[in-house]
Chain A
Amino acid sequence: MTTVGAASSITRADVEEFLYEEAALLDAWRLDDWLALMTEDAVYRVPSNDSPDADPQNTLFIVADDINRIRARVARLKKKDAHAEDPRSRTRRLLTNVRIVGRNGAALEVEANFSVTRFRRNDGIRTYIGHYRYGLRVEGARLKIAKRVAVIDSMELGGLGSISFIL
């Protein structure tokens, strides 16, 4: 992962490079390397489709992981008995419309659109479309992920089924 300068000087190109790298790690199922991108207080969330702007403290989400749960999720997914991902889904992530929407000291608020396709055996390709809300932070001249919220556009999961992979 390339190093970056002070948060105030980070450009959209820096953020794009970072997010493309993250997407590549996930598509390659390099989950430990992906985990290394997280801050010690990172959260990963997928809100329920009917409550895209809600708070997981008072609203049921699909995923609402703190860093411990993110680590447990990765540990689970690496095992053969995470049956929903055995064999692993093939995913392909397209990220676009990347915008830095806020800066505060070492922290950046970033939004990006995503189209994630997922292929499992005996099945057509499922396409997850939506946007990410990232909280990024500069730590030791590297960008890290403090918050990662994947908001799906569809009104229900419906045919998308489960989110057993990392969206």
Chain B
Amino acid sequence: MATPTDDRIADTTRTVEEMGRDAIGRTEAQVIGTSPIERTALEREEELFTVNMGPHHPATHGVLRLLVSLEGEVVRDLKPVMGYVHTGIEKSCEQKSYWKVIPFVERMDYLSYYFNAEAFCGAVEKLLELEIPPRAKWLRTLHLELNRISSHLVGLGTTALDLGAISMFWYCFRERDTILDLMEMSSGQRMHTRYFQVGGVIEDIPLGFEQKVREFIAEMPERINQYAALLDRNEIFLLRTKGVGIVSRERLLELGVTGPLLRAAGEPWDLRKVAPYLAYGEVEFDIPIGTTGDNYDRYKVRLQEMRESVRIVEQCLDGLPEGPWIADDRKVVLPPRHELGTSMEALIHHFKLVTEGFRVPPGEVYHPIESPRGELGCFVVADGSAKPTRVHMREPSFVNLQALRDMCMDEYVADMICNLAMLDPILGGIDR
């Protein structure tokens, strides 16, 4: 932290001497710098070597650049540099009608696209005070949990890939392809499906979908057991992950970290349980909690979350109510196609919705949900017109990345790779 010159923040920052290491308040130029010798506040002189990792690197899970100051093989300082896939989505959203914002927002955290859509649609539904029908709630929950499983699968697969366990990667992607088949069946598209719309879901699930999902959930627990058999007591995996990357629960809360990282550290915080939305209040599931907060706990938490998600999917299928899959309000939701041939009013509604879009009364809301990486919140400001004034996503990966420095400090560079993998960052979400 900066040396305290200001009374207002004097009592909560630690001095450089207390920290005993370099102040992090340096620009990139200073970090890269011409002189490899960085004097620290320690008594003896240390020679720090700054290495640039990324943005093109096989282990950065996207285009993340890390400036790592090493003393030998031990990490003494870490600075992430982001923005290499910054797409200006939030700015583009201000030019589009609400309906058109959904595909934009889906592409932020590109592994959990249903969650992005749900955060946005939930926020707009709050602004409109629109109640979505029960069938839509359950269908949304079903797809969200399927997406959670597929996101955790990619996270686990790439983590194992980084540690050298390539087989896990193939198996995880095999399961992921099965889930993408299910998504293709319900919405026509494997990724970025635009399935969630303001008011519900765009279409009912087709015949045969339920049967295919049941086949999936019949085989998935066995597959998860296979993954556990591969990695749980694997000596190399244990050596690489046990006791590595521990950050205390209090520090994680200070840093704003949520999701599996926080749960692995022992804090039982999951928005699906504490503030239930959609159908989460009506299904039974447990929240896996870790004890030490090391990488092994994070791995176990994600694995168990997959099992819990399978439970939720099964309960969603069993408890799926009949009824409409999207709200009735013609001012917001497109009328069904068969009405367009007979009703003039439906035609006018359709025309207005497609050309201009629905108008949202002025207001601003923040709608948080639990995504596979933590709290995903969508902040929407509406001004009464058909386009949002501001759309901002509180992305969990962006906030969780602040924990990387604490995780890697004073540990080996190889552990840094493992920490980054277990952090499960998605650069699309970080950079937006």
Q: Is this pair of chains taken from one and the same complex?
A: no
Q: Which residues of A contact B (CB under 8 A)?
A: none
